[in-house]
A and B are shown apart, each in its own frame.
Chain A
Amino acid sequence: MPDRSSEIRRRVTLEDLLRVKRAERPPPEFWTAFEGELRQRQLAALVERKSWWQEAVSLAHWRALRLPFGGLAVLALTLLSLHRYGPASAPAPRTAEAPAAEAAVAATAVTPPAQPEIVALARPAEVLAPAAAPVAPSRQEEPAAPAAGAASAGAREAAGIIPLLGDGALGRLAAADGTPASVDLASVPMVVEPGLAAPAAPALGFEERAMPEMRRRPTAEMLPTAAAAAVPRRARLLAVLDSAGASVLPEPSTAEQVRRSVARYLNQDDETRSMSRLGTAAAGVSLVRF
């Protein structure tokens, strides 16, 4: 033994030092405590319930579900973005009065093009211009309702005002009492304006947001003519509304609001103000309004 010890004393290697490290061992009582703790943790692990997100993560690791989940996520995102940022040309829900208005429009649509006297109707997207004017394709396909003749003469006269006034007045008519434009305009009387009907007609056959450029030009051309005939026309239109509105429109208050809206519009010189309500500015179209 002393010989071996003296041999080590001469040469201590790294392996010898690491052997000292290997000799570091816990005492026997350490293992008793170790086993007790391990048993507790083992039992706790057995009864431990996974939280919902851990379950979700383990499901996500399941390869068979990756493709369907990924596809569903992409589809949902696509639908959501289409719903949120899609084109504004989605058809508005139709009201009960819409068929009557369409019938009136269909009846006037067969009027020969030689007659410049119009035609009119509801919302810009749903308006049918005379035969010469461009017509929204979706409306062309719809058949005339049997109630076409039911529209009263007063209502047709009032409806005729709308194309002559432009979309600004149309919007005010709708916004005055908060009811949709198609409801009010279906019962508005029709009026014939020989001098103004022809230039105004092409402007009415287009959706406002879809084709703002085509609408702007005829409206500008219409303005000098409208200014010349402004005073007698105003008097005549107000008289028509006073006489027809009370009997045709559903509520006197609505008729009064329509009359006020028309009067306000006729006093207005700035055409661009009426255009701006529909989100159309002089330089372009605003897409933010809903």
Chain B
Amino acid sequence: MDLTKAISKTLTATPERQQEADADWAVVRKVQAGDVAAFDQLIVKYRARVYSVVYNLCGNREDGADLAQTTFIKAFQSINRFQGQSSFFTWLYRIAVNATLTHLRKNRLRTFFSFEKITAEDRASEVIDALTDKSGADRELFVKELQEKLNEALQKLSIKHRMVITLFEIDGLSHNEIAEIMGCSVGTVRSRLHYAKQLLQAELQSYLR
């Protein structure tokens, strides 16, 4: 591994991320050695995160599922070329992002939206409670309307800005990781993030208090 890369990785990665990357690398080496079943561990570990990124980028669950599967198949087919120069999840995310970009560019005119249900997460419920006093069917209707508005605002962003917002705010990646995935500088990531947030705030002004 390149010394500079290794140093920067050590400095930027949190200990949890580093442990995770080491564990992934061990599984990848098993797969490379011929233990194909070991790849299932990686699928189970990352399927939700990959799906979340792809789903939020393309805005519908059908394409999200299809692209997530494509991502894992591509990763499986080219896993012998993975040399461990970056962490496995960065490499996997890069495949997912590239596949989604290709899909979005191909189907620019064919867009439709379908939403997953919001899970009973404490923080999300609190936010919804803060936004509305309604309950029952009215609350469901409000949540659906909020989802549509959020999705609409995200789709108004360019693909690059949408990607930065998705990876940072929804998936919780660091600036460095996003920069590595997108192949740009950290400064560019920050700049895009700032601009995207400004646009989203303008779009969702009615919900912000």
Give A contacts to B, CB under 8 Å: 4-5, 8-27, 30-31, 34-35, 37-38, 41-42, 45
Contact = CB atoms under 8 A, between A and B. Distances in A.
Contacts of A13: 208
- Candidate in A19, A23, A30 with the most chain B CB atoms within 10 angstroms: A23
B157 interface: no
Given A5-B126, A18-B165, A26-B116, A12 B131 contact: yes
Given A27-B117, A34-B69, 12 more contacts: A12-B209, A14-B200, A16-B123, A18-B150, A18-B200, A21-B170, A23-B123, A24-B115, A25-B117, A26-B116, A38-B72, A41-B70
Given A19-B124, A20-B128, A37 B69 contact: yes
Interface string B137-172: 000000000110011001000000000010001110
A16 B47 contact: no
A207 B131 CA distance: 98
B130 A34 contact: no
Given A21-B150, A21-B170, A26 B61 contact: yes
A5 B165 CA distance: 26
A14 B77 contact: no
Chain B interface: which size bin? 35 or more
B204 interface: yes
Given A23-B119, A24-B118, A17 B147 contact: no
Interface in B164-186: 165, 169-171
A14 B76 contact: no
Contacts of A15: 169
25 contacts: A8-B127, A11-B209, A12-B130, A12-B208, A14-B197, A14-B208, A15-B169, A17-B127, A20-B124, A20-B128, A21-B56, A21-B151, A21-B154, A22-B121, A22-B169, A22-B170, A22-B171, A25-B116, A26-B51, A27-B117, A34-B65, A38-B72, A38-B73, A41-B70, A42-B72
